[in-house]
Amino acid sequence: TDPVEFQGKYYRIPKSVIGPKPVQKPHPPIHMAAYAPAAMRRVATEANGWFPVGIPLGGIGPMFEGIKGMAKDAGRDPSALELIVRANVELHNTPIQKDRVEFTGTLEQIAEDVTTARKLGAAEIVIDAQFSPGVETAKDIVARMEELWRVAKQA
């Protein structure tokens, strides 16, 4: 409830009004990035979904199945858990042939990775293109995102 105020040993919150309030009831979906077994159990028992970052797509499938198994063991419906993949994209003009990291390369290579993520059950893919070569300004990011959107929506 508003206003909120807190005075503790290590921090304080002055009298504040927090807004806007979440539309979702009772709260927005909570997706957790988790890699350690205990954290993955928390995803299975507490979260609305899993948000892996930096895990190769080949590892995401088995890990997500493990989380869903833990959810089932905890009495939750495993199909209710969402998978949201973060793609740290590096967009290049020429194909990467050797030692390519997923979500790097040409638009076509990245589209293949998007297709693979969708086949794994990804409900959403968060595309972060800020580290792509040639991306230095907000306009560059917008241009790259428009290119990626065009290809990703077809994948």
Give residue 133's pLDDT.
73
Distance CA 118, CA 125 (A): 8
155 residues of the chain, pLDDT tens digit each: 679 999 999 999 999 998 887 787 778 899 999 999 999 999 999 999 999 988 999 999 999 999 999 999 999 999 999 999 999 888 888 999 999 999 999 888 999 999 999 999 999 999 887 777 777 777 877 887 787 788 777 76
Q: Is residue 45 part of a domain?
A: yes
Distance CA 62, CA 67 (A): 9
Give residue 8's pLDDT.
96
Looking up tokens 């590096």 gives 90
Q: Is residue 8 part of a domain?
A: no
Q: Is residue 101 part of a domain?
A: yes
Range of the domain at 49: 29-152
Which CATH number does the domain housing residue 115 bear? 3.20.20.30
Q: Is residue 20 part of a domain?
A: no
Give residue 1's pLDDT.
65
Q: Is residue 14 part of a domain?
A: no
Give residue 2's pLDDT.
79
Q: Is residue 71 part of a domain?
A: yes
| Residue 109 host element (H or E) | helix 107-119
Q: Residues near 93 by Cβ (< 8 Å), separated by ≥ 6?
A: 106
| Strands of the chain, DSSP E | 4-7, 12-16, 31-32, 49-50, 82-88, 90-91, 104-105, 122-128
Total number of domains in the chain? 1
Give residue 6's pLDDT.
93
Looking up tokens 């065009």 gives 150
Distance CA 151, CA 36 (A): 33
Q: Is residue 3 part of a domain?
A: no
Give residue 130's pLDDT.
73
Structure tokens at 25: 């009831």
Please, how many CA atoms are within 13 Å of residue 118, restricted to the half-sphere of its CB? 10
